[in-house]
Each structure stands twice: as C-alpha cells, then as structure tokens.
Amino acid sequence: MTGVAPLGDLTVSLDQDGIVYHDGDQPERGMLRLPMAVPNWDTVDGHLIVLLDPDRPVAGPDFTVEETHNVVAVGPHCEHLWTVDGNPDPDTQTRHEEIVATDDRLVTRGEGGRYAEIDPATGAILDRWPNDVFVVNGVRYDLDGKVQKILEFCNKTLVDADQNFLYCFDNDGQQLWRLELVQEKSWQFRPDIDDNLVYLDYKPDQGRHATFIVDVETGEILEQEFGPEPLGEDLRDAN
C-alpha cells in the first residue's frame, strides 16, 4: 500500500516495496527499508504506524521483526521508533491483520478477530480482548455481537456489533447510547464531523434504500429518508 503521511511539519511517503522516504524536496531527511511489504498504515501521535505483511518479505531491510510482531512505528526522519512487543493473542501465533487507529489510540485486529491496544509511544501491548468485547479507557463492555467496524470522530467511538447494534462511547469509557439496527441489511456508516452527525445507510438491495441521520451525542434519529420503495421496517421500531 502506497501513500503520503504528514508527520508534524514533515511528510513521508511509502512505496509498495516497503520503503519509507521523504518527498523529493527533502532528500536529506533519509530513507528506511522496512522488512516486509505494507498492506496498511495510519498515523497516531505524530508517528507513522505501519502494518507489515509477513507473507511478502523485502530484500535487504534495515531491521527485522518476528512474523507475529508485524506492527512498527516510523518517525518523521524515517527512523524506526519501535516494534510492537507482542501479538493479539499471546497463547497462539496470531498476527496483527488490521490497524484501527483513532486520534490518540492505537488498536489492532488480529487473526481470529482478537483485538490489542498498543501504546503508540513505545509499542507495548496495553490490553487485549476478544471480538465480542470493546474496551474504552480501561472499561470493558460485553457487546451484543462481534465487532465488525470501529469508527472514531468528534471525540466519540462508534462500534458496529454484527450489523445488529451500533454503540457509541466517549473517551472517558462511558457508553453514551446503543442503537438497535434492522437486521439482515448491509449497513454503511458515514460521519459528518461538521454537524456532529452520523448517517446510517442501507446498502441498496433490490431497489431498496434508506438513510437514517443520527445525533452522535444522543443517538436520537433526527431524520429518516426512504428510497423509491417502502422498506416495511422502521429503525425506530427496533429501538
């Protein structure tokens, strides 16, 4: 996965061969050859957080990592800051498979759906939990379903549990609301940061489509828009 990542006042780029480098106008800033190709990356606290693919090793890397420790951080001068000190499940040889980064929090999803929270400053594993649990600020919540997606905006964290429930948590670890969804639909979630709203959409299915506009602070459905055909189900009935 290629891309350009702003890190403070500097910018670094990644190429598909696992090389991190500064843009052409900053060649003196250096280059770092990662040990594996990069399927995913994000930025947290001014660090470039990189997920590595153990199945795609890179020749001549500047450092090496274990296959199950496949998350690293890179600084603004293309320096290797840390390698994660563990995997999502210490009892197995599972790898990290996805980065779920928020403004100041780094969470990964591993093989088997287990989650790990990583200290973005050091790479230390802070906590681990299964995929039917979510942890915010040390508070653990048992969910009505397995985590499908995590979305962070407006200092809130939205968690999709099996497309059946949408949870909202604040940064202090409080559950603000839980919205029961119409089941057996393909839900999509679109944040509106400017208006502090989230749009809940049915993915079009045989001509049917609907959008629900939800207040992120309260979970209240402010508006409901139907498509060309009646759905026969109202999200409010499921609340």
* Beta-sheet pairing, 80-83 with 71-74: antiparallel
Whether 139 maps to a domain, the answer reads no
- Cα–Cα distance measured from residue 120 to residue 141, given in angstroms and rounded to the nearest whole number: 23
Q: Can you give the pLDDT at residue 103?
A: 64
Whether 15 maps to a domain, the answer reads yes
* Predicted TM-score of the model (pTM): 0.81
The token duo for 69 is: 């420790």
Lowest mean per-residue pLDDT among 30-34, 114-118, 141-145, 233-237: 233-237
Q: Any idea of the CA torsion for 41, 119, 190, 4, to the nearest 10 degrees?
A: -30
Letter for the amino acid at 156? K
pLDDT band (50, 70, 90) for residue 237 = very low
Cβ-based neighbours of 106, under 8 Å, separated by 6 or more: 44, 49, 99, 117, 118, 119, 120
In the three-class reduction of DSSP (H, G, I as helix; E, B as strand; rest coil), residue 75 is classed as coil
Q: pLDDT (tens digit, 9 = 90+) per residue, 143-190? A: 999 998 888 888 889 999 998 899 999 989 999 999 988 777 788 888
Q: How many CB atoms lie within 10 A of CB 222?
A: 11
Q: What is the DSSP letter of 111?
A: G
Q: Can you give the pLDDT at residue 170?
A: 92
Whether 206 maps to a domain, the answer reads no
Whether 17 maps to a domain, the answer reads yes
Whether 78 maps to a domain, the answer reads yes
The token duo for 196 is: 């502090």
- Cα–Cα distance measured from residue 108 to residue 50, given in angstroms and rounded to the nearest whole number: 11
Q: pLDDT (tens digit, 9 = 90+) per residue, 105-127? A: 899 999 888 999 999 999 999 99
- Cα–Cα distance measured from residue 200 to residue 207, given in angstroms and rounded to the nearest whole number: 17
Find out whether 75 and 37 touch, Cβ atoms under 8 Å: no
- Cα–Cα distance measured from residue 239 to residue 236, given in angstroms and rounded to the nearest whole number: 5
CA 7: distance to chain centroid? 19
- Please list the residues that pair with 200 across neighbouring strands: 189, 212
Range of the domain at 99: 1-123
| CATH code (residue 62) | 2.130.10.10
pLDDT band (50, 70, 90) for residue 208 = low
Find out whether 75 and 54 touch, Cβ atoms under 8 Å: no
How many helices (H) and strands (E) the chain has is answered by: 0, 22
Domain count for the chain: 1
Cα dihedral 102, 106, 111, 113 sign:
negative
* Beta-sheet pairing, 125-129 with 115-118: antiparallel
